Amino acid sequence: MILSFIELINIVITILAVGYIFMDIFRMKGTETYPLRTAGKEEFILSVLTVSPAIIFHEFGHKLVALALGFNATFNAYFLGLLIGVVLKFTNAPIIFFVPAYVSIGGTGTLLGQKYGSMLIPLAGPLVNGLLFLISLIITKYELVKGKWYLSFWASKKINLFLMILNMIPLPGTDGFHFFNALLNFIF
């Protein structure tokens, strides 16, 4: 089974929390009340449709590669991280940084998984963000959408580029750290 009921609940919670946390960046300009107007339903939906795929698909990259390599993989909302994000948004923090979700991986995996899994699984998430970045880049460069959807894809481009780069920096806890550590262990 690719998705359990509990994972589905965790995905919904992550999507709703992330949508709430980032909805203010989608306040529509050009209205008389901007910037005093608070973000509403439309901004929340736009936030959900723009920011959540970057996070959910990133984690699904890890999950699907792990499953393909014979491991058990479970999507988890990181409730403490989501709470930190909500508190930072609520307090109008100038920078909102938090970890919203993760995939727990277990089992022994296939022979291929045992040999290459520690490199391929961490690399999958940032590669998904890279693909989403390229899709958004093409859509915005050729103006394939207009209005609020252009804003959505423009933001998606920035978010996915940021997540790809951030997650490939080899700092402890990042995908880049796990990837480069596994690569060094493989080489030496």
Q: What tens digit of pLDDT does each residue of 156-167 get?
A: 999 999 999 999
Beta-strand runs (E) in 28-122: 72-77, 101-106
Residue 27 has, within 13 A of its CA and on its CB side, a CA count of 13
Tokens of 38: 């608070």
Q: Taking 70 as the threshold, does the pLDDT of residue 31 lie above it?
A: no
| Max Cα-Cα span within the chain | 62
pLDDT digits (tens, 9 = 90+) for 93-147: 999 999 999 999 999 999 999 999 999 999 999 999 999 999 999 999 999 999 8
pLDDT score for 29: 60
pLDDT score for 24: 87
Tokens 């014979």 belong to residue: 70
User: Contact at 8 Å (CB) between 61 and 125?
Assistant: yes
Q: Taking 60 as the threshold, does the pLDDT of residue 35 lie above it?
A: no
Give the C-alpha separation, 156 to 47, whole Å.
10
pLDDT score for 83: 98
pLDDT score for 86: 97
pLDDT digits (tens, 9 = 90+) for 83-102: 999 999 999 999 999 999 99
Give the C-alpha separation, 23 to 40, whole Å.
8
Average pLDDT, the chain: 93
Give the C-alpha separation, 134 to 128, whole Å.
10
